[in-house]
Amino acid sequence: MNSFRIGHLLQFMAGWHPPRNEFQLNRSRWRTWAEYIGEWIEIREECLATEEFQRGGPNFAEQVYKTYGAKGPPMNATYDEIEAAIAENEDATVAVMLADVKVS
């Protein structure tokens, strides 16, 4: 985690997308979702154990990882599509958890 600049850590917490133009390409640490998620997986346990990453609920990188796995979303996915997929995944997780609950 110490090898990352604060901006990179914030991108794990708040959001990231693949570079869309030359300007972004020159400034981006990652080129693909797989690179982004791959580095998240490397520091995931350390980050999730820190208080900063626990504030405000799940962070962006963790939600993307849980929803799409190690490859991440399609390269051309929009934030709206990713947000919808994350919400759908969370709904499915809740449904599984509630499936065993008996209501009387």
pLDDT in tens, 7-47: 999 999 999 999 999 999 999 999 999 999 999 999 999 98
Whole-prediction pTM: 0.81
* DSSP secondary structure, 19-76, as one string: --SHHHHHH-S-SSHHHHHHHHHHHHHHHHTSHHHHTTSS-HHHHHHHHH-TT-S-TT
pLDDT in tens, 50-102: 888 877 778 899 999 999 999 999 988 988 999 999 999 887 777 777 777 77
